[in-house]
Structure 1
Amino acid sequence: MTRPSFILQPGPPQEPRIVAVEARGRDIRFVLEPGEHLLEAVRRGFADAGFKCGVVELGPAALSPFAYVMPALSKDGANAAFYSDTYRPAGVCRLEAGAMTFGVRDGAPFFHAHGLWREASGKASGGHILPEDTVVAERIEVRAFGIDGAMYEAVPDAETNFKIFGPLAVASVGAKTDRRVIALRLRPNQDFIGALEVTAARFGIRRGRIRGGVGSTIGAKLADGTVVENFATEVFVLHGLIAPGTDGQPKVTLDVGLVDYTGGMARGRVVR
């Protein structure tokens, strides 16, 4: 099967294709306590540091109860792809790696998180973590990045027919910050790395780090030769850097985790 380069969405293309909001931010760490719902634990962690929005590096972590969905084919054509039924594996799930964007949906705290994990049965799996149905099982410290001056808010999107997180410019809440940040949303059917490089050049960023980052991709090709063919694939950023290339322009290196609608999983460096 040849990996497609374009997937027709149910609605008309929206502009701008790269949604970018300049703000300020800071690296933070906080502890997730056992017995807390993951959503509340993350909200509290950001709030204690003075933030209402940010991204989190997930894993390793123990979660139980735990609920998730995987990417799936659309059943009715209302979306280009959709979600599976909800999975609720028994026992403690051990999250190995993941990423989270934290913001608001319908006026309340919410997150969008993807990851890879191992269930108590030993089964390796991955997908989209459900915020309200997942509980922290063991105490763990996580690394995060708080954002002030931008808010990720889930709003209806006419192009994809989903309610999707995107950055909005908001008034500062006065959080302590120490660096510039560009909060992004990339609309469908773009070269992932190319869009990041275009954004870096636009904002004059020669060197930087790519934090968080969750979404969907039309498969991927990795540096070790792995090719994820399926178009309904969830992705999260493990690590990303911006640095000058030989031509002096910003170049991006990006390590990601992936899970497709058949349950196939991969981790590695994206190549174009």
Structure 2
Amino acid sequence: MSRSHLIQHPGPKTSPRRHVVRGLSAPLAFELPEGMTLMAAVAAAMDKAGCDTAVIRLDGLKIGPYNYVMPDKSPDDEHVAWYSQTHSGEEAVLQQATAIVGRRSGDWFLHCHAYWEDKKTGRHAGHLLPDQVTVAANFKGSGHGFVGGCFDVTADAETNFSFFRPKPLVAAPRVNAAIVCLAPHEDLVTSVAELCAELGFSNPEVLGIGSLIGADFRDAPSMASPISEVLLLKGAKGGGSGQEPLLPMFCVDPDGNFFEGDLIRGGAPVCVTFEMILIGE
């Protein structure tokens, strides 16, 4: 059952509801040196990568010290949700983590959601602050570079937030992928299924992060909270040719409760935004 009615943003609805830029994706391998901040290390890697934007996985990355925030209620009437106070940790390993890498005012910037195991305090999840996270050991990672467009931090009148939105650049020589931003109240499963049909992708890999107004799963208890931070887990696929998308999702709510399972159609309306890449053949 959709909980979309629980959230009403302060501004007028933006159009379109699905921002999509088609382009060319290729596998991306990179290294992050020990001792650098996550933001500086990723920026240096992107300078070498030769792509316009990227979505990367940071599973297994050792971090510390580090700061992060969790989802929280808004302190004012200008936003429907906000961030918690800043939390800190000394040493942790990211279990699963996805970072969208794009531009903010022309400079590299990243948006990262993760869950991790802290050596002292156990399991946590949330939004890592990239310039307040130190890479604790040399790391070799992978992801997907993208040419033909860029995730660019853009002010959004509907939500009063600034977040990544796909921006078209010089057209790629061919198309095998798309970078996407979904507006509030768009159902994630429905959107992915319809986008795959529109793009002609058959069961593409999907990576993405964002927030949901509650979540219903095929195989696990629902998340009731209309405020959350979420990330798609390994194995997410877009479906197509009569096949329903398979979107395993990890969620954390403002109370620090974790929820995990395969999303069902109609059970995952976007809260503020959802940023993702769909990678076809």
- Considering the TM-score relative to the shorter chain, is it more than 0.5? yes
By how many angstroms is 1:58 displaced? Answer: 2.0
Q: Secondary structure at the match of 2:193?
A: helix
Partner Cα distance (1:178, 1:62) in 2: 36
* Residues 221-257 of structure 1: CA deviation (Å, up to 9, x unaligned): 223222111111111111311333xxx3453111121
What amino acid maps onto 2:216 in structure 1?
K
Q: Report if aligned partners of 1:3, 1:230 keep a CA contact under 8 Å in 2.
A: no
Give yes or no for contact 1:24–1:180 (8 Å, CA) kept in 2: yes
Task: Give secondary structure in 1 for the equivalent of 2:230.
Answer: strand
Partner of 2:106: 107
Partner of 2:198: 202
TM-score scaled to structure 2, two decimals?
A: 0.88
Aligned to 1:28: 28
1:149 aligns with 2:148: yes
On the 8 A contact 2:73/2:82 being kept in 1, the answer is yes
Q: Secondary structure at the match of 1:130?
A: strand
Partner of residue 66, structure 2: 66
Residue in 1 that maps onto 2:279 = none
| Secondary structure of the structure 1 residue equivalent to 2:195 | helix
Counterpart code for 1:109: W
Show the counterpart of 1:130.
Answer: 129
* Range moving further from structure 2, 161-170 or 2-11: 2-11
Q: 1:102·1:111 contact (CA, 8 Å) conserved in 2?
A: yes
Question: What CA distance in whole angstroms lies between the structure 1 residues aligned with 2:144 and 2:126?
Answer: 22
Q: Distance in 1 between matches of 2:42 and 2:130?
A: 10
Pairing of 1:86-101 with structure 2 (within 5 A): 86-89=86-89, 91-101=90-100
In structure 2, C-alpha distance between the alignment counterparts of 1:250 and 1:183, rounded to whole Å: 21
> How many angstroms does 1:218 deviate by?
0.9
Aligned to 2:180: 184
- Structure 1 residues 215-234: aligned runs within 5 Å: 215-234=210-229
Q: State TM-score, norm by structure 1.
A: 0.91
d(CA) in 1 for partners of 2:210 and 2:114? 11
Output the CA distance in 2 between the equivalents of 1:95 and 1:108. 25
Q: How does 1:214-253 map to 2 (within 5 A)?
A: 214-238=209-233, 239-244=235-240, 248-249=241-242, 251-253=244-246
- In structure 1, the partner of 2:276 is none
Using the TM superposition, name which of 148-157 and 202-211 deviates more.
202-211
Partner SS, residue 39 of structure 2: helix
Aligned-partner residue type, residue 190 of structure 2:
G
CA RMSD after TM alignment: 1.8
1:170 aligns with 2:163: no
State the distance in 2 between where 1:243 and 1:105 align: 32
For structure 1, the residue ranges without an aligned partner over 5 or more in a row are none
Deviations along 1:50-81, whole A, 9 cap, x unmatched? 12411011211111120101000011121010
What is the CA-CA distance between 1:178 and the residue it aligns to? 8.2
Q: 1:179 to 1:141 in 2, by over 3 A?
A: farther
Distance in 2 (CA, whole Å) between partners of 1:250 and 1:222 is: 17
2:114 matches 1:121: no
